[in-house]
Amino acid sequence: MAIRNETLHDCMAELLQRYFRFVQKRMDDDHTMPRRRLPKMDLGEAGAVRRVEIVDELDWGSAIPASLHDFVKDRESDVLIQGALAQPEICRVLEQLKVALVPMAFGYNILQPMALKLAYAQRGLEFSEAIFESKYPELEQYLSADMDPYSLSVPLANVVLAADHLTVGPFTVRKMTGDEFRMFVFDGSFGAQSLGLSDCLLELRVRVPRGGPPLSSSDRDRLWWFVACLKLLKPGSVGYDQIHVRPMGWTGISFAEGSVLRLVSPLGKAYSLSGDDVPELDELWRHVEPLVGEHPPFWYLGLHRFSDAVNRVRTEDRLIDLWVACESLFGRQGESGENMYRLSLRIAHLIEEDPVKRAEVRERAKRAYRSRNSVVHGGSDKRVAESGRDMEEFTRRALRKLIASQYTTHDVLIDEIERSILGGRTDPESPP
């Protein structure tokens, strides 16, 4: 690749050589070489840690940034840095980043990232001209771009992935690398939960205007909606606690943000995901993707309560949440009379067409409602766990049917189900 700016190329080469010598001298004077001790983990099923070995290695990520301030203030360095700041490409990037055209801004946003890239590639502070020449085109590409790529990574709890990675729409579900497992789970707050530990990662790649926020409210919502789709796909809990933002290009800030909806997964049977699930999951995502960031559909509360319910640790809480979801879907404000009969009948007519199966669903839903009544009134019921499983199945099927249907309002749904009950219509899935 042809070099676009020979002056900047030569300036950066000399700056980096000086920077490496400066860092090395500081470490020689202090008689210290920063090191880090990292856990190397052998993962078993569902991310269970079978063996941990401690690996000792040089820590360039600490040594180079720790020397930046003093290096930039050095008089000889300042002459070279001023030369770099005179280049239009450098000015353009610093203006895009909304920072002042001063040496420290150049050092933090341009020089330090380049030095770290070279140090890790060289495995040391001995300047390699060959490696510099191979990395320099990346700098010029960054300087000429207007958008920056980021990875939004969500460690998933309780998920076992049968393949190395799966792709659905804009998302990738994959196994973590060893460094990612250390960063997200072993060292991070996610690992401290110790609930449903997993080596599985949900990743969304985004491109944002330079200087703009890398994590938007829309992308937060997209991640939540996709995890909700996983729960709608099949039984099982899926949890996440943080969204990790990492730059995939030249520079940027890495940070983690706690989820507004903290979805910690309970201990239990692992949620298994394989390539066979992709077509069905992709279809679910295609239905919900247009809804992200728009006015929420009438069944949105039901989906939220369902998503919370499947992650509940206590079976009683799960059953109550599932009935709240179903009442938001199948109840109508101001109705009086027998809720158990009305709700169970409407659930059965939405999710089943065969009269015999409808009757079976109705009876199971009525039993589950009795269990719910026992719990909320301080009693006990031996069938709470069974009722919870039944209501999870019914709520999942109802939500999936509503997501795939064209019902526009809650009233349209209830009116259509009532016509089905009275014999005026036999297929409540497709409204007129």
Inter-residue long-range contacts of 258-262, CB under 8 Å, 24+ positions, other chains counted: 259/220, 259/224, 260/220, 261/224, 261/307, 261/308
What is the predicted pLDDT for the residue at 381? Answer: 76
Rounded to an integer, the average pLDDT of 279-301 is 93
What is the predicted pLDDT for the residue at 394? Answer: 97
Question: With 60 as the cut, is the pLDDT of residue 389 above it?
Answer: yes
Q: Which residue has the higher pLDDT, 260 or 92?
A: 92
Q: Which residue has the higher pLDDT, 367 or 241?
A: 367
What is the predicted pLDDT for the residue at 432? Answer: 42
Burial readout 107-129 (b: 16 or more C-beta within 10 A, e: otherwise) = bbbbbbbbbbbbbeebeebebee
Do β-strands 49-58 and 35-43 pair in parallel, antiparallel, or remain unpaired? antiparallel
Pick from 154-163, 272-281, 318-327: least confident: 154-163
What is the predicted pLDDT for the residue at 267? Answer: 54
- Residue 426's pLDDT band (boundaries 50, 70, 90)? very low
- Residue 425's pLDDT band (boundaries 50, 70, 90)? low
What is the predicted pLDDT for the residue at 233? Answer: 97
**Helices 217-233 and 278-288 meet at what angle, rounded to 10?**
140
- Residue 400's pLDDT band (boundaries 50, 70, 90)? very high
pTM: 0.84
Question: With 90 as the cut, is the pLDDT of residue 184 above it?
Answer: no
Rounded to an integer, the average pLDDT of 203-213 is 93
Rounded to the nearest 10°, the torsion over CA 397, 362, 352, 350 is -70
**Which one, of 73, 71, 40, 69, lies nearest residue 57 by Cα?**
40
Pick from 183-192, 243-252, 313-322: least confident: 183-192
Beta carbons within 8 Å of 103's beta carbon, 6+ residues apart: 72, 78, 81, 82, 85
What is the predicted pLDDT for the residue at 54? Answer: 62
> Sign of the C-alpha dihedral, residues 274, 280, 283, 285?
negative
Q: Which residue has the higher pLDDT, 3 or 417?
A: 417
Q: Which residue has the higher pLDDT, 43 or 302?
A: 302
Q: Which residue has the higher pLDDT, 196 or 65?
A: 65
Pick from 5-19, 198-212, 257-271: least confident: 257-271
Residues 78, 12 contacting (CB under 8 angstroms): no
DSSP secondary-structure letter at 239?
B
Question: With 60 as the cut, is the pLDDT of residue 194 above it?
Answer: no
- Residue 241's pLDDT band (boundaries 50, 70, 90)? confident
Residues 110, 84 contacting (CB under 8 angstroms): yes
C-alpha–C-alpha distance, residues 381 and 333, integer Å: 28
What is the predicted pLDDT for the residue at 303? Answer: 96
- Residue 58's pLDDT band (boundaries 50, 70, 90)? low
- Residue 44's pLDDT band (boundaries 50, 70, 90)? low
Task: Dig out the tokens for 268 from the structure.
Answer: 């239990």
Question: With 60 as the cut, is the pLDDT of residue 260 above it?
Answer: no
Rounded to an integer, the average pLDDT of 49-67 is 68
Rounded to an integer, the average pLDDT of 378-391 is 89
Pick from 106-115, 121-130, 184-193, 339-348: least confident: 184-193
Question: With 70 as the cut, is the pLDDT of residue 422 above it?
Answer: yes
**Which one, of 410, 366, 372, lies nearest residue 388 by Cα?**
372
Residues 115, 16 contacting (CB under 8 angstroms): yes
Q: pLDDT, tens digit, for every residue of 122-172?
A: 988 899 999 999 999 999 999 999 999 999 999 888 888 988 899 999 999
Tell me how far CA of residue 303 lies from CA of 200, 299, 402, in angstroms: 24, 6, 10
Question: With 70 as the cut, is the pLDDT of residue 38 above it?
Answer: no
- Residue 90's pLDDT band (boundaries 50, 70, 90)? very high
Beta carbons within 8 Å of 106's beta carbon, 6+ residues apart: 72, 81, 84, 85, 90, 94
End-to-end CA distance of the chain: 61
What is the predicted pLDDT for the residue at 1? Answer: 57
What is the predicted pLDDT for the residue at 163? Answer: 86
Rounded to an integer, the average pLDDT of 10-18 is 95
- Residue 191's pLDDT band (boundaries 50, 70, 90)? very low
